[in-house]
């Protein structure tokens, strides 16, 4: 994201700030203007910006001041010199908001010669690893010609807007884009790009840019690079997502008149002003609009939306921009219900937050969190002034704070601008508008840039009964961006288990808020103790010990949670296996009972067969005896018959027979 500044550009602005506070390489010259904690922090950032990461040996613990300075510098880790410069100026502007105006005379002098380390080489601030040289001649100031510098920024008209937490309309010029909503918006190098959208039901494909330094609109005449499907590159679309990536803009998904079967990713090359289609691998998601696309590391996370058949979705896909490969994620837990026109944000490069959105019949105000490491959904408890249900709202993060603007509930637009502290999950209302102001619209866009070291929110377009093309700007106050950090725990537990040093250095507001806590603790203590330097050192050491212990406890907690999750998974698997075994055992018992019944029946049948066999043998013996007796009788009866007559024997007489 681009950062605008006023007056001098980095690193000259950093040199001017260091010269203003009288930095000479030690903290002694700072303590007269700032508290000890602030001076110590400025010292460490100064060392990081001018020398780099701390690589000097740790001093003896009895050298309290030197050890405190070393610990503060060493804590910054591998923070880049450009980030250290920005933090240095940021903290100075928090402590002394009017420093730049009071130092304007000295700032106009060539401050490049204010060298803090002659052996160091400080690179200019370059966003997205690309510089867009834009030489601009600054007009005379106080009668003296300032000269020609790269992007020396003076935002005319906007400097007079000194109020915080109020939406104001800056004085824009140039040819404004056609009024629209559901367009894509992105900031690159202090420029707001607007692409596509919906106007009176007609999809648009024009590309406009607003210079956030001069507040001037211009239209970009883009060229389409020839390809096999170049005709699809410039199709008008709405409900898409516009994501800055390196020196390009990625237009992802969106509703079109003739939709494709799957999501298309269009690439706009900023230096060459050309459109191409990104070649991807794997199975892309089905085409859709109203989805959320969030940049996490080197990947794009796509959730939800509505397809061409008006089917609401709650699927989760990731596009790895290093391998250009799509991957569908089957996360555990209960995901958000199918929805579109919701808002999404990422916290500490790990937690994806989904808020609100709508279905065909209702709008939501629920909050869901996806742990990108474990790929598990959860629905935490929201605190504070929970927003009303809404869809079509826009959101942007500033440090740990997630600002939500606009949206509606199918009845009216939402007038409140709210902010969620993603570390504590606490909502609060930033401001509220009256009447049909464009920021109370559905389908508007919201981006973040900065002015004079302060973050600004920029809203464009939307629909609230009529289509809008106005630009509105809001400066969040320290209360809305930092106070929640001071009230709540320095290292909150609501979403993330632990904040590592890399995330802390990347997050400017988190770093500033965290250091602000240390500063308040020190200020409360030094009022009653004379030796302020010793107190700062002791508190610093205690803080480091506590942070180390807390970090270890959090690691142990995470490990225990992981073990508990694994144990629950194993327990669930064992329960399922036990139920399966019980079912098998019951089945076997039933089968055994049936077999026992059959065996008993067969035994009874065998006994019956044995008895019958014995009776049969007895009858057979009786029959054989009967047949033998009959045969003998016949033989006796016929022994003197025909054969006797043939032999000449006389037949037996009656007497012989009687005898």
Q: At residue 525, does pLDDT exceed 60?
A: no
State the pLDDT confidence band at 640, using cuts at 50, 70 and 90.
low
Q: What gap in Å lies between CA 220 and CA 192, rounded to an integer? A: 12
Q: At residue 216, does pLDDT exceed 90?
A: yes
By DSSP bridging, strand 167-168 and strand 471-474 are antiparallel
- Per-residue pLDDT, 8: 59
Q: Contact, 358 vs 339, CB < 8 A?
A: yes
- CB-based contacts of 493, cutoff 8 Å, min separation 6: none
Q: Contact, 4 vs 449, CB < 8 A?
A: yes
Q: At residue 625, does pLDDT exceed 70?
A: yes
The mean-pLDDT minimum among 245-254, 346-355, 640-649 falls in 640-649
- Domain boundaries, given as residue ranges, for the chain: 11-99, 166-223+234-475, 558-614
**More confident call, 556 vs 174:** 174
Q: pLDDT by residue (tens digit) across 232-263? A: 566 899 999 999 998 999 999 999 988 888 99
Q: pLDDT by residue (tens digit) across 123-180? A: 333 333 333 333 232 233 333 333 333 333 333 345 445 678 899 999 999 999 999 9
pTM score, whole prediction: 0.54
Q: pLDDT by residue (tens digit) across 50-76? A: 888 988 888 876 677 788 888 888 888
Q: At residue 314, does pLDDT exceed 70?
A: yes
Query: Nearest Cα to 365, choosing from 431, 291, 304, 418?
Result: 418
**More confident call, 107 vs 477:** 477
What's the mean pLDDT in 298-316?
A: 95
Whole-number mean pLDDT of the chain? 77
**More confident call, 266 vs 229:** 266
The mean-pLDDT minimum among 330-344, 438-452, 529-543 falls in 529-543
- Per-residue pLDDT, 32: 58
Q: Which residue has the tokens 């006797």?
A: 644
Neighbouring CB atoms inside 10 A of 1's CB total: 18
Q: At residue 495, does pLDDT exceed 80?
A: no
Q: Contact, 37 vs 536, CB < 8 A?
A: yes
Query: Nearest Cα to 195, choosing from 215, 216, 211, 178?
Result: 178
**More confident call, 487 vs 46:** 46
Q: Contact, 391 vs 380, CB < 8 A?
A: no
- Per-residue pLDDT, 140: 30
State the pLDDT confidence band at 303, using cuts at 50, 70 and 90.
very high
Q: At residue 110, does pLDDT exceed 50?
A: no
Here the tokens at position 159 are: 């400097």
State the pLDDT confidence band at 504, using cuts at 50, 70 and 90.
very low
Q: Contact, 253 vs 241, CB < 8 A?
A: yes
Q: What gap in Å lies between CA 580 and CA 592, rounded to an integer? A: 18
* Sign of the alpha-carbon torsion through 517, 522, 523, 524: positive
Whole-number percent of the chain with pLDDT over 70: 73
Selection from 90-99, 388-397, 526-535 with the highest mean pLDDT: 388-397
Integer-rounded Cα radius of gyration of the chain: 43
Fold of the domain spanning 11-99: Acyl-CoA Binding Protein (1.20.80)
- Per-residue pLDDT, 231: 45
State the pLDDT confidence band at 207, using cuts at 50, 70 and 90.
very high
Selection from 230-234, 388-392, 614-618 with the highest mean pLDDT: 388-392
Selection from 105-114, 351-360, 615-624 with the highest mean pLDDT: 351-360
What's the mean pLDDT in 220-241?
A: 74
Angle between helices 508-526 and 36-50 (to 10 degrees): 140
- Per-residue pLDDT, 126: 34
Q: What gap in Å lies between CA 222 and CA 19, rounded to an integer? A: 45
- Per-residue pLDDT, 643: 56
Q: What gap in Å lies between CA 389 and CA 382, rounded to an integer? A: 13
State the pLDDT confidence band at 561, using cuts at 50, 70 and 90.
confident
Q: pLDDT by residue (tens digit) across 8-39? A: 566 777 888 888 777 644 444 555 567 777 88
What's the mean pLDDT in 353-359?
A: 96
Domain 166-223+234-475 homologous superfamily, CATH:
Kelch-type beta propeller (2.120.10.80)
Q: Which residue has the tokens 């997630």?
A: 402
Strand partners, 447: 458
- Per-residue pLDDT, 411: 79
Cα 645 to chain centroid distance, Å, stands at 132
State the pLDDT confidence band at 413, using cuts at 50, 70 and 90.
confident
Query: Nearest Cα to 344, choosing from 297, 274, 385, 404?
Result: 404
- Per-residue pLDDT, 139: 31
Q: What gap in Å lies between CA 341 and CA 443, rounded to an integer? A: 8
Torsion, Cα of 52, 53, 55, 60 (10° steps): 110
DSSP three-state, residue 532: helix
- Per-residue pLDDT, 61: 65
């Amino acid at each position: 994201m681009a950062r605008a500044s006023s007056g001098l550009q980095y690193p000259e602005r950093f040199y001017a700030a260091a010269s203003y506070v009288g930095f000479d390489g030690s903290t002694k010259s700072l303590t007269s203007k700032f508290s000890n904690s602030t001076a110590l922090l400025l010292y460490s950032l100064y060392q990081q910006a001018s020398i780099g990461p701390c690589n000097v040996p740790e001093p003896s613990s009895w050298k309290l001041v030197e050890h405190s300075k070393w610990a503060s510098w060493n804590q910054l880790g591998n923070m880049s010199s450009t980030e250290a410069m920005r933090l240095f100026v940021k903290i100075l502007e928090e402590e002394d908001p009017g420093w730049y105006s009071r130092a304007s005379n000295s700032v106009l002098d060539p401050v490049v010669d204010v060298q803090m380390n002659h052996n160091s080489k400080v690179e200019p601030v370059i966003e997205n690893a690309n510089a867009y040289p834009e030489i601009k001649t600054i007009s005379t100031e106080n009668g003296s010609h300032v000269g020609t510098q790269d992007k020396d920024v003076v935002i005319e008209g906007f400097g007079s807007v000194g109020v915080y937490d109020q939406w104001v309309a800056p004085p824009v010029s140039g040819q404004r884009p056609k009024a629209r909503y559901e367009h894509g918006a992105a900031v690159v190098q202090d420029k707001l790009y607007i692409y596509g959208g919906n106007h009176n039901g007609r999809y648009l494909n024009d590309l406009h840019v607003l210079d956030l330094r001069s507040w001037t609109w211009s239209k970009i005449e883009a060229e389409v690079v020839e390809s096999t499907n170049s005709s699809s590159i410039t199709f008008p679309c709405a409900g898409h997502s516009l994501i800055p990536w390196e020196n390009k803009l990625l237009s992802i998904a969106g509703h079109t008149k003739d939709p494709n079967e799957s999501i298309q990713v269009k690439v706009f090359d900023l230096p060459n002003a050309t459109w191409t289609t990104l070649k991807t691998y794997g199975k892309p998601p089905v085409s859709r609009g109203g989805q959320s696309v969030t940049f996490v590391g080197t990947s794009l996370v796509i959730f939800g939306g509505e397809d061409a058949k008006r089917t609401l979705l709650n699927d989760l896909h990731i596009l790895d921009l290093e391998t250009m490969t799509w991957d569908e994620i089957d996360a555990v837990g209960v995901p958000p219900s199918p929805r579109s026109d919701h808002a999404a944000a990422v916290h500490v490069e790990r937690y994806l937050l989904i808020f609100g959105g709508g279905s065909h019949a209702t709008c939501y105000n629920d909050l869901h969190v996806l742990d990108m490491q474990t790929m598990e959904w959860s629905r935490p408890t929201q605190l504070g002034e929970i927003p009303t249900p809404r869809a079509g709202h826009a959101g942007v993060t500033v440090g740990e704070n997630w600002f939500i603007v606009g949206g509606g509930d199918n009845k009216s637009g939402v007038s409140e601008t709210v902010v969620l502290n993603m570390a504590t999950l606490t909502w609060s209302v930033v401001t509220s508008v009256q009447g049909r102001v464009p920021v109370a619209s559905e389908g508007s866009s919201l981006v973040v840039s900065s002015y004079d070291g302060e973050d600004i929110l920029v809203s464009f377009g939307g629909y609230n009964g009529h289509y809008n093309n106005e630009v509105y700007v809001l400066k969040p106050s320290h209360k809305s961006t930092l106070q929640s950090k001071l009230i709540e725990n320095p290292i909150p537990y609501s979403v993330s288990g632990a904040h590592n040093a890399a995330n802390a250095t990347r997050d400017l507001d988190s770093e500033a808020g965290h250091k602000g806590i240390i500063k308040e603790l020190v200020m409360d203590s030094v009022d009653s103790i004379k030796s302020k330097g010793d107190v700062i050192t002791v508190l610093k050491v205690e803080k480091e010990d506590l942070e180390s212990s807390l970090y270890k406890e959090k690691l142990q907690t995470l490990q225990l949670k992981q073990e508990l999750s694994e144990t629950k998974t194993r327990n669930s698997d064992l329960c399922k296996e036990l139920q399966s075994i019980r079912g098998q055992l019951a089945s076997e018992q039933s089968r055994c009972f049936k077999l026992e019944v059959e065996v008993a029946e067969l035994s009874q049948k065998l006994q019956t067969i044995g008895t019958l066999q014995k009776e049969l043998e007895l009858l057979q013996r009786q029959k054989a005896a009967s047949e033998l007796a009959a045969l003998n009788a016949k033989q006796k009866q016929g022994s003197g018959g025909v054969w006797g007559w043939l032999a000449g024997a006389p037949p037996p007489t009656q007497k012989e027979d009687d005898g």
